[in-house]
């Protein structure tokens, strides 16, 4: 029997699951999402609410503690958009490229052409829900700017156009695993690991 706390991963996105597993390696025994579970309708008004909806659904289906996250890209020049709609910014079946293309087009439309006008942040809310109804939520944020054009082959989503201010001008897509040291998801899941350790000692 594993001594690590077990959490069922609510995400069906293999890219997200790989990142989560990398960050939580050695801290949590991450179990896969139950097969055949329908997609959860993410209609909450904020990231925390969407993370809760997914975690509750998977916790109910699996009968075990479940962990879920929801991430949004908030662009200042667009009034915080795409925010909670980041994954479907260009439509319900949008590809990563579709979303990036729409983001760059919207920034062009509002005349945000300089780095100072293209400030943004990634925000991740992580929620754990237990079968008894208990829950835990943490957050991770990283500030950056939106690049003029996609650069880099790694990562996923908006990574090719997000330049974190804490590094040397590379996009997340150019960073490989170094990204996880400063990324929103890395920070959120490290905060989760710390909260779970604290919970275990209470």
70 in active site: yes
For residues 131 and 64, the answer to whether their CB atoms sit within 8 Å is: yes
Coil, strand or helix at 159: helix
Catalytic residue (one of 70, 98, 132, 134): 70
Cα–Cα distance, 127 to 50 (Å, whole number) = 9
Q: Which residues pair with 138 in a beta bridge?
A: 126
Q: Report which DSSP code applies to 77.
A: G
The angle that helices 184-201 and 14-24 make with each other, rounded to 10 degrees, is 50
Report the catalytic residues: 70
């Amino acid at each position: 029997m594993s001594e690590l706390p077990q959490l069922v991963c609510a995400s069906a996105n293999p890219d997200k699951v790989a990142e989560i597993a990398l960050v939580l390696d050695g801290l949590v025994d991450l179990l896969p999402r139950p097969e055949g579970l329908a997609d959860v309708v993410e209609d909450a008004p904020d990231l925390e609410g969407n993370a809760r909806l997914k975690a509750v659904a998977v916790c109910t289906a699996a009968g075990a503690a479940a962990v879920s996250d929801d991430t949004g890209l908030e662009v200042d020049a667009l009034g915080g958009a795409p925010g909670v709609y980041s994954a479907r910014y260009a439509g319900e079946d949008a590809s990563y490229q579709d979303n990036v293309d729409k983001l760059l087009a919207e920034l062009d439309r509002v005349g945000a052409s300089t780095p100072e006008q293209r400030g943004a942040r990634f925000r991740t809310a992580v929620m754990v829900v237990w079968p008894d109804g208990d829950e835990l939520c943490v957050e991770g944020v990283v500030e950056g700017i939106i690049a003029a054009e996609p650069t880099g082959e790694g990562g996923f989503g908006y990574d090719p156009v997000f330049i974190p201010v804490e590094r040397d001008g590379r996009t997340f897509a150019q960073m490989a695993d170094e990204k996880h040291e400063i990324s929103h998801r890395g920070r959120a899941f490290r905060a989760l690991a710390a909260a779970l350790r604290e919970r275990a000692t209470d």
